[in-house]
């Protein structure tokens, strides 16, 4: 037996790690190796190893305390569906690049998109980097295994003709303002579903985008009594059941944007006919409860189907336009009118724009002109 000093415990006592082997020469070899690791990687709590699954369970329990609920749910899904089934039984200290590639291979065989594979690889890389930082032995080769690559985005903007076809159908609906807000104003789906009447100023013809509607995960899956899984300092307001109003990911997502005249008038008309919502939501379901993302998408798909609008992919295949592509279309419409990129990013709330709030409050004329021009090009003038 041999031992190595490994710093101090949380109670202030010395931490010693014991090493064992069948012979003195072997234990001396282990001791020399332990000192080498300590010199290279710093203090560690143990020179034993644990499996990927065991570390992943610990990692997720800690991660829920400081990442956004949506990020946590996405990380947990990647780990439980792909990482653990592929390499959960492997010890951290025995991982090789071939093990890391095995995760991507299993996803590729399942027909997943390259973007999903890249996201899972990023989660795995973070998982291993944090294990190494926590004192576990994970080889540099495993931690730095090349990702499966980044494919081109499949999201596209609708052409002006297709946008007009969609709007022809959408504007015949009572909730036409919902779809104009997406195609012309560029609202994110969660921003639209979280918009409340107190955020809409019809006199000033502006709306404040400060919240998004999200369904927060329960501490125990499908058990409302267990409470919600939220990180420290996370700002949210419960609306109904699991649905909460939450702040955007970045401060630049909070913004005030002008309403195009057509939309301001549509809001006034919709307010008379909109279902009564206890939370004051602008676009609730018929019973006043929040629209789920699935319900919202299904309404969009119905509109696109009635408009007979499809998107052609690079390989020649066609599909329905995605709801998020309405936001891309809003940016394209502004570009078609020669609007500068800075103004477009400010309207859309992109994080790359600095001091977005001050910019919008001091120069709202340009953003109003940009949005009005987009409305004009698709036939939504005064």
**List of domains in the chain:** 52-143 (1.10.150.130), 160-377 (1.10.443.10)
Residue 124, number of CB atoms within 10 A of its CB: 27
pLDDT at 355: 33
Residues paired with 18 in a beta bridge: 3
Q: Which two tokens stand for residue 296?
A: 């919202």
Rounded distance between C-alpha atoms, residue 292 and residue 283, angstroms: 11
**Per-residue confidence (pLDDT) for residue 23, from 0 to 100:** 92
pLDDT score of 186: 92
- Tokens of residue 281, six digits: 């939501």
Neighbours of 81 (CB within 10 A): 15
Report the distance separating Cα 319 and Cα 185, nearest Å: 24
Can you give the pTM of this predicted structure? 0.76
Burial class (CB in 10 A: 0-12, 13-18, 19+), 199: middle
Please tell me the predicted confidence (pLDDT) of residue 332. Answer: 85
Reading the chain (382 residues) residue by residue, the pLDDT tens digits are 988 776 665 566 776 778 888 999 988 888 887 777 665 555 555 555 789 999 999 999 999 999 999 999 999 999 999 999 999 999 999 999 999 999 999 999 999 989 899 999 999 999 999 999 888 889 999 999 999 877 666 778 899 999 999 999 999 999 999 999 999 999 999 999 999 999 999 999 999 999 999 999 998 878 989 999 888 889 999 999 999 999 998 887 899 999 999 999 999 999 999 999 999 999 999 999 999 999 999 999 999 999 999 998 878 889 999 999 999 898 888 877 878 778 888 888 876 543 333 333 344 666 777 788 888 888 887 6
223 φ/ψ angles, rounded to the nearest 5 degrees: -125, 95
**Cβ neighbours of residue 183 closer than 8 Å, sequence gap 6 or more:** 158, 163, 166, 167, 170, 326, 329, 330, 333, 378
Could you write out the three-class secondary structure of the chain? CEEEEEEECCCCCEEEEEECCCCHHHHHHHHHHHHHHHHHHCCCCCCCCCEHHHHHHHHHHHHCCCCCHHHHHHHHHHHHHHHHHHHCCCEHHHCCHHHHHHHHHHHHHCCCCHHHHHHHHHHHHHHHHHHHHCCCCCCHHHHCCCCCCCCCCCCCCCCHHHHHHHHHHHCCCCCHHHHHHHHCCCCCHHHHHCCEHHHEECCCCEEEECCEEEECCEEECCEEEEEECCCCCCCEEEEECCEEEECCCCHHHCEEEECCHHHHHHHHHHHHHCCCCCCCECCCCCCCCCCCHHHHHHHHHHHHHHHCCCEECCCCCEECCCCCHHHHHHHHHHHHCCCCHHHHHHHHCCCCCCCHHHHHHHCHHHHHHHHHHHHHHCCCCC
Residue 307 has a pLDDT of 97
Q: According to the model, what pLDDT value does residue 15 have?
A: 67
Confidence at residue 362, expressed as pLDDT on a 0 to 100 scale: 41
Supply the pLDDT for residue 20. Answer: 85
Residue 371: CB atoms within 10 A of its CB come to: 27
């Amino acid at each position: 037996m041999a031992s190595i000093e490994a710093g101090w415990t949380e109670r202030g006592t010395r931490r010693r790690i014991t090493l064992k082997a069948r012979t003195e020469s072997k234990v001396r070899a282990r001791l020399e190796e332990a000192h080498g690791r300590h010199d290279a990687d710093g203090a560690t709590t143990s020179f034993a190893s644990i499996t990927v699954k065991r570390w992943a369970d610990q990692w997720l329990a800690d991660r829920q305390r400081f990442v956004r609920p949506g990020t946590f749910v996405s990380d947990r899904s990647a780990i439980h569906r792909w990482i653990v089934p592929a390499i959960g039984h492997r010890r951290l200290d025995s991982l090789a690049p071939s093990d890391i590639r095995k995760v991507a291979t299993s996803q590729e065989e399942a027909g997943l998109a390259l973007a999903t594979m890249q996201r899972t690889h990023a989660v795995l890389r973070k998982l291993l980097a944090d294990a190494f930082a926590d004192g576990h032995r994970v080889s540099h080769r495993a931690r730095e295994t090349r990702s499966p690559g980044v494919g081109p985005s499949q999201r596209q903007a609708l052409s002006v003709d297709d946008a007009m076809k969609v709007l022809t159908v959408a504007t015949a609906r009572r909730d036409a303002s919902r779809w104009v807000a997406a195609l012309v104003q560029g609202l994110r789906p969660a921003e639209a579903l979280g918009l409340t009447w107190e955020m809409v100023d019809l006199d000033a013809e502006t709306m404040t985008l400060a919240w998004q509607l999200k369904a927060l995960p329960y501490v125990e899956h499908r058990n409302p009594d267990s409470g919600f899984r939220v990180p420290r300092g996370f700002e949210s307001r419960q609306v109904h059941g699991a649905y909460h109003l939450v702040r955007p990911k970045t401060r630049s997502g909070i913004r005030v944007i002008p309403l195009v005249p057509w939309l301001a008038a549509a809001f006034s008309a919709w307010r008379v006919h909109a279902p009564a919502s206890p939370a004051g939501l602008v676009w609730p379901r018929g019973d006043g409860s929040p629209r789920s993302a699935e319900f919202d998408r299904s309404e969009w798909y119905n509109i696109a189907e009635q408009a007979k609008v499809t998107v052609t992919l690079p390989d020649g295949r066609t599909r329905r336009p995605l709801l998020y592509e309405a936001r891309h279309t809003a940016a394209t419409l502004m570009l078609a009118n020669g609007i500068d990129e800075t103004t477009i990013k400010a309207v859309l709330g992109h994080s790359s724009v600095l001091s977005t709030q001050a910019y919008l409050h001091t120069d709202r004329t340009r953003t109003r002109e940009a949005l009005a021009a987009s409305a004009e090009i698709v036939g939504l003038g005064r």
